[in-house]
Amino acid sequence: MKKNKFLAIILLSFSLILGSCSKDDNGETTDPADDVTGTPQLQPGTDEPEAIDLSAYDNGSRVMMQAFYWDVEPRFAWWDNLSEKVPGWADAGVERIWIPSPAKGQSGGYSMGYDPSDYFDFGNFEQHGTVETRFGSREELENLIAVSHDNDVEVIADIVLNHNSGGGLQYNPYRDYETYTLFNEENGNASGMFNRTYEDFYPNSVSEYDPGSLFYAETNLDHHRERVQDWLWKNDNSVAKYYKNVMGFDGWRFDYVKGFEPWVVKEWNEAVGGFSVGENFDGNPDVLRDWIEASGSPAFDFSTFYKLEESLDRYEDLTNLEKDMLWKTHPESAVTFTANHDTEKDSEEDNYIMTSNKMKAYAYILTHPGYPTIFYSDYENENFKEELKTLISIHNSIAAGDTEILYVDQDEYVMKRSGTGTNPGLILYISLNNSTKRRTVSSNWNNVTLMDYSGNSTYKPTSDENGMVQIEAPAKAYAIYSITE
């Protein structure tokens, strides 16, 4: 017994000696003298550093707000709800709001706008069981646009250009049965503008070709027909020109662009201009790049969305962030996001970023190149709002310059933005580890004390004369470092 007790004491002592210089799970030595509780690591005799004024480094970048979620409530009051929120969003750094398809759908007061019936009924015609749309009246929509413009915020309309819904029955000789392809004043088109028949949909006397649609195949508009082009974007009273010149919309989000050819978007934008983005629901960056080249329009960066989901959720492996993404080759055309009305609607395992990882995903898109979109339900979540305001402020100020990955492994990711001119740039450190992590990296700042502008860490390291600095990320969180005064 005594021999075993003595052996245990020796083993315990040996383990304590080894513990005085431990290694993290990636093999980097962690100095036990480092205080990982957040005590500032300042040079002896120096004063407490002060944060720089981020507004002094305005880089001209802003963000877009997706101003809705699926099945918004309250019904008939959404435009008024947004009108109240726009001034605060503008103060936070939002320059555009993307609203749902604003015209009357077949589902009437329950429609989210993606079953378009009358492109010119904004809540001012009695049809499909209601005058107002789910979102409110035309007057309330016009007020929202006016309030937004008063706050220097653009309004982006969701445009559904292929599938229609809510017309009347008529015999369709090209299908040899009755189809719901009659749109007139008595059948789903009370405005009387852009009346349609089976000749305006695939197939018809002009076109056999149908690019395909997952929705309402019998009422998939044929964009090759001159009449359809005239009503959608060419004529002075076309959908595009009416939305821009009469309603005051500033740009377009094109729904389900897989359902029609990219030249349609190109011609629309050439006719009316404005900001545009296409929903090409595909995680393959080559597919997105091909569509951008053909349409001339930016696209939502589903490749980055899925890489974030894989990295943070599905595989818990941050090395996926080294892979190809749209923003890496086309940053000016990549509209990045972490959630939208579709991904949040179903919350499918591989089509959704978990709530616990949302802010790490936002930290990524708000520090990297690309044009970030904030999701309404995330921003209006009181658990996220202040953190998102901080990230937007960082994005609009010091997220500038070239991007370089300084370190990446399964549970750590460190990225540097080099800054431009007097703009200092930043270093993002994301960790999936259960413990506080430290990593020594190369910065652009020599002999400068840094701080975490996200507020997640109070650790304030000082770089050496060569710019080397040890930064810290809290457990399962992130930090964003830059210089101090």
Phi-psi region of 328 (alpha: psi -120 to 50; beta: other; left: phi over 0): alpha
Instruction: Let me know if the fold of 23-55+403-483 is the same as that of 60-395.
Output: no
What dihedral do alpha carbons 281, 379, 77, 109 form, nearest 10°? 20
Lowest pLDDT segment from 141-145, 207-211, 246-250, 268-272: 207-211
Q: Is the dihedral of CA 81, 100, 117, 110 positive or negative?
A: negative
What lies within 8 Å, CB to CB, of 163 at 6+ separation is 115, 116, 213, 215, 216, 219, 220, 221, 256, 259
Burial class (CB in 10 A: 0-12, 13-18, 19+), 391: buried
Distance in angstroms (rounded) separating the CA atoms of residues 444 and 400: 13
State the pLDDT at residue 44.
57
∠ CA(275), CA(278), CA(284), 5° rounding? 135
Residue with tokens 């008595």: 186
Measured over the CA atoms of residue 13, residue 16, residue 17 and residue 23, the dihedral's sign is: positive
Query: What span, in angstroms and rounded, lies between the C-alpha atoms of 472 and 457?
Result: 7
Neighbouring C-beta atoms of residue 484, cutoff 10 Å: 18
Residue 445 has a pLDDT of 98
Q: What tokens does 380 get? A: 């209006």
Task: Check pLDDT > 60 for residue 161.
Answer: yes
For 286-352, the DSSP string reads HHHHHHHHHH-S-EE-HHHHHHHHIIIIIS--GGGGGS--HHHH-GGGEEE-S--HHHHHH--TTSS
Burial (0-12, 13-18, 19+ Cβ within 10 Å), 434: exposed
Quick: pLDDT tens for 213-224. Answer: 777 899 999 999
Q: What pLDDT does residue 293 have?
A: 98
As a whole number of Å, the CA-based R_g of the chain is 27
What pLDDT digit, counting tens, does each position of 205-264 carry?
999 878 777 778 999 999 999 999 999 999 999 999 999 999 999 999 999 999 999 999
> Mean pLDDT, the chain, as a whole number?
92
pLDDT score, position 9: 37
Tell me: the pLDDT tens digits for 435-469?
999 999 999 999 999 999 999 999 999 999 999 99
Q: Mean of the pLDDT values across residues 149-172?
A: 98
Q: Which CATH number fits domain 23-55+403-483: 3.30.70.20, 2.60.40.1180, 3.20.20.220, 3.50.50.60?
A: 2.60.40.1180
Q: At what angle do helices 78-92 and 385-395 cross, to 10 degrees?
A: 50
Residues with a known catalytic role: 255, 279
Tokens 């706050």: give the residue: 151
Residue 345 pLDDT class (50, 70, 90 cuts): confident
- Residue 386: both structure tokens together: 């202040």
In tens, the pLDDT along 73-87 reads: 999 999 999 999 999
Spell out the domain ranges in the chain. 23-55+403-483, 60-395
Q: Taking Cα atoms as reference points, which of 113, 123, 135 lies closest to residue 190?
A: 123
Is the pLDDT reported for residue 30 higher than 50?
Answer: no
Written as six digits, the tokens of 334 are: 């990549």
pLDDT at 348 over 90: no
Residue 84 has what pLDDT?
A: 98
* pLDDT of 5 higher than 60: no
60-395: CATH topology is: TIM Barrel (3.20.20)
- Tell me how far apart the alpha carbons of residues 412 and 4 are, in angstroms, rounded to a whole number: 42
The CB density around residue 338, as the number of other CB atoms within 10 Å, is: 27
Greater model confidence, 49 or 365: 365
Residues placed in the known binding site for Ca(2+): 162, 230, 236
CA neighbor of 97 nearest in space, from 306, 251, 291, 257: 251
**pLDDT score, position 45:** 55
Question: How confident is the model over 274-279, as a mean pLDDT?
Answer: 98
Residue 106 has pLDDT above 80, yes or no: yes
Sort residue 476 into left (φ over 0), alpha (ψ -120 to 50) or beta.
Answer: left
Q: In Å, how far are 15, 42, 157 from 436, measured between CA atoms?
A: 22, 19, 44
pLDDT band per the 50, 70, 90 thresholds, residue 31: very low
3-state SS class at 385: helix
Look up residue 53 and give its amino acid. D
* Residues making up the binding site: 162, 230, 236
Mean pLDDT of 411-418: 98
Name residue, tokens 């370190």: 407
